[in-house]
Structure 1
Amino acid sequence: MTDLVIRNATVVTCDPAGTVIADGGVAVRDGRIEQVAASVELEAAAAGARRLVDGKGHILMPGLINTHCHAGDSLFRGLVEDLPLEPWLQTVWKAEGAILNPETCYLGSVLGFAELLLSGVTTVMDMFWYPEETVRAARTVGMRVSTGGIFFDPPGVTGDNLKGRIAAAERFFEMFSDAEDVFPAVLPHGAYTVAPENLKTAKQLAERHGALFSTHAAETRAEQADVTGRYGRSVIRHLDDLGLLDERTLLAHCVHLDDEEIQILARTGATAVHNPVSNLKLASGFARVPEMLAAGVRVTLGTDGAISGNDLDMWMALRLAATLHKAVTGKADAVSTAQALAMMTSAGAEALGAAGRIGSLEAGKLADMILIDVKRPHAVPMFDPVTHLVYSTARSDVRHVFLSGEQVVRDGALTRHAIGQTIEAVERLKPRIAASIA
């Protein structure tokens, strides 16, 4: 028996053909989509379905995919302002060292994931301390997460040395390698905080477990100068020389690349994760997204952490990704609506090695879906739903979210977790957070 039918919606499938159904929906069985069709073609499935949802006045599309985040840093939202990345990081690390432990990492991650889920994000790649707590937080609200062992040469929050970091990463694989809602990864912080041999160790660990590999790369000119000064080559060339770049590698930021470095990404199949909000706010620069797309580099979208961008709004990131580069290049067609939308749907799924499971509404895929209200003044008239999604949609327009067919957001509210208790706990922690950098 069909478990769920959603019909009477405008369906933006985000499939390879860019299929849009003016009046359609989906049928779901056992957590997967069994049919995507016009509403009239869903009548048989609807007749015997356990649950019917009327999508009239809504766009139905796949859940969003955020490929770079530090959700736990939501605890420090707005704490450190008006600094470029390097001095900003020193203050951030001071606050993290004073506040973070497994309990507070879980608390901050629940807060961040709730914000993401309410805006329609159903999968996130998250780099943070105590990744098992990250998974617990994602499950608390109802999301999929890609995370895993952190590599960082200084002691950091956990106080581990290299041996301890390897052991922690191995434990993570033991715990979650078979979990459907987890995409295991190894996440070294960056080429300027992790030595070459340790980066190679992290990559070898990821390869041994068939896992993803993600790191910050070429975010600022200072980082480029640091890495070049130490190793005689730029960040991307350094990572390539170490054998770290392939189709399972996600590189956050990629702001400062020359033509040859863009070709390296295209040749190796590595993903560039665009984070326009934090790149703007930290004055890091403008990533060469149109050039990367033209070269065949996979470009995905991330929010970074709320400590650097002050929120986790993928819709703002999407609109900036679609508009920013038009002004930078002087070309109104620098990034198309289809390219921008793919960054947070199908391309994100490909980067996570999950194109067969998520990222589009197609039969056989997991029923991760969102319904977006288009009955509001800023949505009328709507001539093209894809254009509306890219340029007009706000996160408050997301009304309902489904994970494997389970409704995890209903009428703009979480169904699994009472977020008020999390907010109260964060408010109680606020004096300690403020004092951490005093």
Structure 2
Amino acid sequence: MLILRCQIVRWSEPNEILYNAAVLVRDGKIVDFGPSKDLEERYPQEEKLDANGQWLMPGNICAHTHFYGAYARGMSVYGTPPADFPQILRKLWWGLDKALSEEDVYYSALVCLMDAIRHGTTTLIDHHASPNAIDGSLDQIAKAVEESGVRASLCYEVTDRDGVARRDAGIRENVRFLQRLQKGDNLDGRLSGMFGLHASLTLSDETLRKAREAVPEHIGFHVHVAEHSVDEYDSLQKSGMRVVDRLSHFGILGPRSIAVHAVHVDAQEIFQLSRTQTWVTHQPRSNMNNGVGTAQVESMMRAGIRVCLGNDGHSNTMWQEWKFAYFLHKHANLDPRRMGADQVVQMGVYNNRALVETLFSGKKVGAIEVGAEADLILVDYHPYTPVTEANLPWHIIFGMQESMITMTMVAGKVLMRDRKLITLDEQGISEAVLARVPATWERYRKLMEQKG
């Protein structure tokens, strides 16, 4: 396909914008780009898509999400409102995940992937939990990924909170799925895996040891870290070490592992995350919603940590995450100079794509260059002020909206065109999920009643 007459945002380093340009896609990759007139003359027989002046750029990436949380939208939390994050876990998430059936796992992934396609998010790194439907749960999500056409990294959240049998089942599910990928069953490179762990506060020393021993050293871990101060105090009580030090002690950190949130880490833990080259993901919407505080993202980046942007299960509108990151740190520090748009772009574009390249065997994503994966979006944005390489981040934060995205492509396959989903039956899936959710909510309510 030859995508013609577009303004190309390359997200090169340094960034470059090409006006009235074109991109040629073949076999899922970008094979040429340049002035629209030149490419049209060079490839006269190619199928053409006329962008009519829209902005063409790489699809967005979500570095941490929870597909299983889809059914929480609009759900009433049992009992009195949670007063803090530990209560949010007990009153909401640790009841909802138990209420999920195998079919719920599949459909919750589908609706999140529909949301991702519609809003231009082409790669997602998921962290799954369904204690009453563990075995094969990652295959259910992989099935949804296959049908949708997106790119995703999956893992199962191992925890001690549901007993030894379920902990061991979670370990087995991670190992089984990673073995599936190792055999080449990875949707032509659109699927990858990690080893999932919940958080230090629900993991014993024995579990951390078992998790590390279960997989080779080159396998990375995906774990929540110090989202709330309770995680730090629990770790100190268990081991005499803070969370990052404890995880490092068991070999959980490293250049293929993700530490999610890291809101309450101290200076030594920041040093340790940097020393081990562990990735950190920042989820500002979630942190604000849960009232857990504001991560020291700027300090982490100055210390050499590669901080990425995720959404923690909120809508897959990653530009919204950009905007919240931009505003949150100014507000929290009472200083409008904090968290410049260039730092947001560093997280949301350059660090996110480097993480994906690490998890997907070096596949080049998130850039428009020859040989890169053709994960692309078209944006129908009509600026009334000039757009340059220097001010583009501010145009995204203050001007562009996900509703302006008209086309989403992954690996050269168009998943949405003219705002119409192609690979998924949006109406049918939405109706199927709407019919399922009341029964899931009722199971959640009964589980919470049993707990008192």
TM-score, L = length of structure 1? 0.90
Tell me how far apart the structure 2 counterparts of residues 196 and 416 of structure 1 sit (CA, whole Å).
44
The 1:350–1:72 alpha-carbon spacing in structure 2 relative to 1, beyond 3 Å, is same
The Cα offsets for residues 116-140 of structure 1, whole Å up to 9 and x where unpaired, read as 1211111101111311111111122
Task: Trace 1:209-358 onto structure 2 (pairs within 5 A).
Answer: 210-306=218-314, 311-352=315-356, 353=358, 354=360, 356-358=363-365
Amino acid at match of 1:117: I
Matches within 5 A, 1:11-160: 11-49=8-46, 51-80=47-76, 83=82, 84-93=84-93, 95-96=95-96, 99-129=99-129, 130-155=137-162, 160=165
**Cα drift, residue 93 of structure 1:** 4.1
Deviation at 1:182, TM superposition (A): 0.8
Asked if the contact 1:186–1:205 (Cα under 8 Å) also holds between the matched residues in 2, the reply is no
Q: 2:203 aligns with which of 160, 169, 194?
A: 194
Structure 1 residue 189 displacement after superposition: 0.8
Alpha-carbon shift at residue 162 of structure 1 (Å): 4.1
**One-letter amino acid matched to 2:210:** T
CA distance in 1, matches of 2:404, 2:215: 38
| Aligned-partner Cα distance in 2 for 1:135–1:289 | 32
Q: Secondary structure, in 3 states, of the residue corresponding to 1:364?
A: coil
* Counterparts in 2 of 1:18 and 1:382: CA distance versus 1, 3 Å: same
Aligned to 1:172: 177
One-letter code aligned to 2:89: L
In the alignment, residue 71 of structure 1 is paired with which amino acid?
A: F
Judge conservation of contact 1:245–1:265 (CA < 8 Å) in 2.
Answer: yes
Q: Which moved more, 1:291-300 or 1:196-205?
A: 196-205
Q: Could you say if the C-alpha distance between residues 242 and 117 of structure 1 is closer, same or farther in structure 2, counting changes exceeding 3 Å?
A: same
Q: Does the 8 Å CA contact 1:72/1:111 hold for their aligned counterparts?
A: no
Farther off after superposition, 28-37 or 271-280: 28-37
| Structure-2 residue corresponding to 1:422 | 429
Checking the alignment, whether the CA contact within 8 Å between 2:100 and 2:440 is kept in structure 1 is no
SS in 2 for 1:23: strand
> Which range moved further: 39-48 or 83-92?
39-48
CA 1:39/1:197 → structure 2, altered by over 3 Å: closer, same or farther? farther
Change (3 A) 1:296 1:332: farther
Q: Which moved more, 1:141-150 or 1:427-436?
A: 427-436
Q: Report what 1:410 is aligned to.
A: 417
Taking structure 1 as reference, are residues 362 and 211 closer, same or farther at Cα in structure 2, changes over 3 Å only?
A: farther
Question: Which range moves more in the overlay, 401-410 or 387-396?
Answer: 387-396
Deviation for aligned residue 1:105: 0.5
Q: How many residues align?
A: 424
Q: 1:85: Cα distance to partner?
A: 1.8
Cα separation, 1, equivalents of 2:95 and 2:167: 23
Checking the alignment, whether the CA contact within 8 Å between 2:121 and 2:317 is kept in structure 1 is no
RMSD of equivalent CA atoms: 2.1
Q: CA offsets, 1:254-277, max 9 Å, x none?
A: 111222222222111111100000
Q: Distance in 2 between matches of 1:94 and 1:110?
A: 21
Identical amino acids, percent of aligned pairs = 25
The reply on whether 1:366 has 2:373 as its aligned counterpart is yes
Contact 1:141 1:414 in 2 (8 A): no
| C-alpha contact 2:408 2:415 (8 A) present in aligned 1 | yes
**1: CA distance between counterparts of 2:326 and 2:215?**
33
Alpha-carbon distance in structure 2 between the residues aligned to 1:160 and 1:145: 28
| Structure 2, unaligned runs of 5 or more | 130-136, 447-452
CA-to-aligned-CA distance 1:168-224 (integer Å, 9 cap, x gap): 22221232232211111111111111223322432344435x433210011011222
Q: Is the 8 A contact 2:253 2:278 kept in 1?
A: yes
Aligned partner of 1:390 in structure 2 is 397
Would you say the 8 A contact 1:183–1:211 is kept in 2?
no
Task: Label 1:94 to 1:148 Cα distance change in 2 as closer, same or farther (>3 A).
Answer: closer
**Helix, strand or coil at the partner of 1:324:** helix
Q: Deviations over 1:374-407 (max 9, x none)?
A: 03xxx43343433212332221111100011110
